[in-house]
Amino acid sequence: MKTAAVIVIGNEILSGKVTESNAGYLSKELRDLGVDLRRIEIVPDEVDKIAHAVSIASDEFDYVFTSGGVGPTHDDVTLRGIAEALEVGIERNGEFEETMRKFYGGSINEYILRMADLPAGSSLLWEDDLPIPVICARNVYVFPGEPGLLKKKFQAIRSRFRSEPYYLHKIFTTLDEGDIAKILEEAAEAHPAVQIGSYPVYSRKVDYRVQVTIESRDENEAREVTDFLKGRIPAETILRVE
Amino acid sequence: MKTAAVIVIGNEILSGKVTESNAGYLSKELRDLGVDLRRIEIVPDEVDKIAHAVSIASDEFDYVFTSGGVGPTHDDVTLRGIAEALEVGIERNGEFEETMRKFYGGSINEYILRMADLPAGSSLLWEDDLPIPVICARNVYVFPGEPGLLKKKFQAIRSRFRSEPYYLHKIFTTLDEGDIAKILEEAAEAHPAVQIGSYPVYSRKVDYRVQVTIESRDENEAREVTDFLKGRIPAETILRVE
């Protein structure tokens, strides 16, 4: 089983100027791939804060995905933070510099070239003929914050991360959480390896009160718990099972 | 100046089943209030993971806001995590129990009553005649994950957090980041207390290429930096200044 963290770098998110969507996108993609996303963290554009978050996550999880802070401006300090986290220097990467020169042509300048100053030992992932490759420093995969670019780059390399799949079932009920808490607890105690979630919704836009989710890497056990819950939650309160 | 962290508790977010919106909401509210949000973290429904995140944030920042994990079901372990973080026990809060009994009436049961098991020393914030108060344990403010409820409860107590305001200006330009990197760096170096952000957008839906933001608690300095940038970025590339 592979685990991951997503670290988003950006004052614009913390100050509410930009609505974050990359972590949400990656959470869905990673789930589809069977990778267990264990932490999302959003930190400011500050080298020490980035370094601290990346250092801990890089040790703790199989993969770390960063979003943001990789352009040519003064507030783009993600690569320096990652270098500090991995305790390596920053050095100009010749292959990446060449890419920047080709991509930017006549409008190249020293600020744009600084984007080729990478953590020492970084590798460049070129799948799908990406015009600009994904930078990978040890187990840290570096993505831009611009959502369109991040998606394009992640799609290009996503097959690298395929792991064992999850099996998910959902039960939608008109009961309240308090009414089913006992039943869910029994199931959770009998099947500690199955993730049982309970999500109340207080909205007239939906027809249910609580969505129960049953999720496991073991297809049979997920089915078994779902059948148990279907048997214990009064049938007339179950709207549907997915 | 007051600082804050938002900690979201929820496997449903990490697994991509639910799109997170509370952290985004709080980031905007806190900015409006002048509170400096320094970290957003999303952790699983696990007591030790919650305790670790809350413990660090509670020491490091003035306020910690948690979202999620406070219902009656087995996966609602936020209050236990907070108690562990603050190194206090969990005890049944008589006033909160009374509230639960009134609110739930005949459908009360032992699972619902467990919601009144709070970190020892918690206080209950009742502003605006909230039917269920906000739980505050030391500097940790506990909110439900359901967005409608979180908003209602935060609105009720938001005036507690008012701090000195920020002054924000925006410049929208048709230049690329590489073209303005030097000018921005000069301004950032001359005014380290001013936050200067640069946000490229690669979308035909907007008329600009980069949004530059200038933000400070000092109204005059924010204005001074904005005027400097307006003078240095070629006028014909500036679409508007807000």
The pLDDT assigned to B90 comes to 97
Q: What's the CATH code of the domain at A177? A: 3.30.70.2860
**Percent of chain A beyond pLDDT 70?**
100
Interface test with B, best of A73, A195, A204 (most B CBs within 10 A): A73
Determine, for residues B19 and A18 on separate chains, whether the beta-carbon distance falls below 8 Å. no
pLDDT score, position A213: 94
What is the CATH classification number for the domain harbouring A100? 3.40.980.10
Residues A182 and A214 both lie in one domain? yes
What distance in Å separates residue B166's CA from the closest CA in chain A? 10
Cβ distance B42 to A23 less than 8 Å, yes or no, reads yes
pLDDT surpassing 90 at residue A201 = no
Shortest alpha-carbon distance between residue A176 and chain B (Å): 10
Rounded CA-CA distance B51/B79 in Å is 9
Residue A143 has pLDDT above 90, yes or no: yes
Looking at the fold, whether B39 and B144 belong to one and the same domain comes out as: yes
SS3 B197: strand
Q: What is the mean pLDDT of chain B?
A: 94
What average pLDDT does range B185-211 have in this prediction? 89
What is the model's pLDDT at position B201?
A: 85
> Which of the listed residues A161, A193, A216 is the one where a domain comes to its end?
A161
Q: Which residue of A has its CA nearest to B19?
A: A24
Strand partners, A135: A124, A142
Confidence of residue A205 (pLDDT cuts 50, 70, 90): confident
Is the pLDDT at A204 greater than 80, yes or no? Answer: no
Of A44, A73, A148, the CB nearest to B177: A73
Q: What's the confidence (pLDDT) of residue B202?
A: 80
In terms of residue numbers, what domain contains A11?
3-161
Output the six-digit token pair for A182: 């006992």
The predicted-structure confidence for A32-41, as pLDDT tens digits, reads as follows 999 999 999 9
Could you tell me where the beta strands, DSSP code E, fall in A82-126?
Answer: 90-92, 117-119, 123-125
Nearest to A43 among B39, B49, B74 (CB): B39
On chain B, the residues whose CB falls within 8 A of the CB of A200 are 71, 146
**Among candidates B117, B56, B45, which has minimal Cα distance to B88?**
B117
- Nearest CB to B107: which of A13, A146, A178? A178
Lowest mean per-residue pLDDT among A83-87, A146-150, A163-167, A202-206:
A202-206
pLDDT over threshold 90, residue B200: no
Q: What is the mean pLDDT of residues B203-207?
A: 81
Per-residue confidence (pLDDT) for residue A57, from 0 to 100: 98
A139 shares a domain with A65: yes
Answer yes or no: do B156 and B172 share one domain.
no
Above 80 in pLDDT, residue A221? yes
What is the model's pLDDT at position A175? 92
- Among B161, B181, B207, the domain-final residue is B161
pLDDT value at residue A131: 85
Considering the domain architecture, whether residues B66 and B182 belong to the same structural domain is answered as no
A151, A175: one domain? no
Q: Is A42–B20 a contact, with Cβ atoms under 8 angstroms apart?
A: no
| Residues B118 and B41 sit within 8 Å (Cβ to Cβ) | no
Residues B111 and B155 reside in one and the same domain: yes
Tell me the pLDDT band of A160, cut-offs 50, 70 and 90: very high
The number of folded domains in chain B is 2
- How far from B197 is each of A10, B184, B236, CA to CA, in Å? 9, 9, 21
Exposed, middle or buried: residue B62 (CB in 10 Å: 0-12, 13-18, 19+)?
Answer: middle
- What pLDDT is recorded for position B107? 86
* Inter-residue contact A174 to A239 (CB < 8 Å): yes
- d(CA A228, CA A237) in angstroms, rounded, equals 15
What is the model's pLDDT at position A33?
A: 95
Selected residue of B20, B25, B27 to mutate for chain A interface (largest A Cβ count, 10 A)? B27
Q: Which of A177, A188, A199 sits opposite B18 (nearest CB)?
A: A199
Nearest chain A residue to B216 by CA distance is A15
Kindly tell me if the per-residue pLDDT of A129 is higher than 80. Answer: no
- Could you write out the three-class secondary structure of B144-185? CCCHHHHHHHHHHHHHHHCCCCCEEEEEEECCCHHHHHHHHH
Inspect the interface and report whether the beta carbons of A27 and B16 lie closer than 8 Å.
Answer: yes
> Can you give the pLDDT at residue B158?
94
Evaluate if residue A9 carries a pLDDT over 80.
yes
Query: Which residues in chain A are closer than 8 Å to B201, comparing Cβ atoms?
Result: 146
* pLDDT tens digits along A190-200: 999 999 999 98
Q: Between helices B22-33 and B147-157, what is the axis angle to 10°?
A: 20
ipTM of the complex: 0.91
Answer yes or no: do B99 and B77 share one domain: yes
B153 and B171 part of one domain = no
What value does the mean pLDDT of chain A take?
A: 94
Claim to verify: residue A73 and residue A186 sit in the same structural domain:
no
Residue of A75, A50, A44 whose CA lies nearest to A64: A50
Identify which of B28, B49, B72 has the shortest CB distance to residue A178: B72
Distance from the B76 Cα atom to the nearest Cα atom in chain A, whole angstroms: 9
Which of A161, A191, A216 terminates a domain? The answer is: A161
> A164, A162, A161: which is closest to A219 by C-alpha?
A164
Of the residues B2, B15, B52, the best mutation for testing chain A's interface (the one with the most A CB atoms within 10 Å of its CB) is B15
Q: Across residues B79-86, what is the average pLDDT?
A: 98
Amino acid B12: pLDDT: 93
State the pLDDT at residue A138.
97
Co-location of A124 and A230 in the same domain: no
Tell if the CB–CB gap between A27 and B15 is shorter than 8 Å.
yes
Q: Are residues A45 and A153 in the same domain?
A: yes
Tokens 């000018």 correspond to B183
pLDDT at B5 over 80: yes
Q: Contacts of residue A203 in chain B, CB cutoff 8 Å?
A: 148
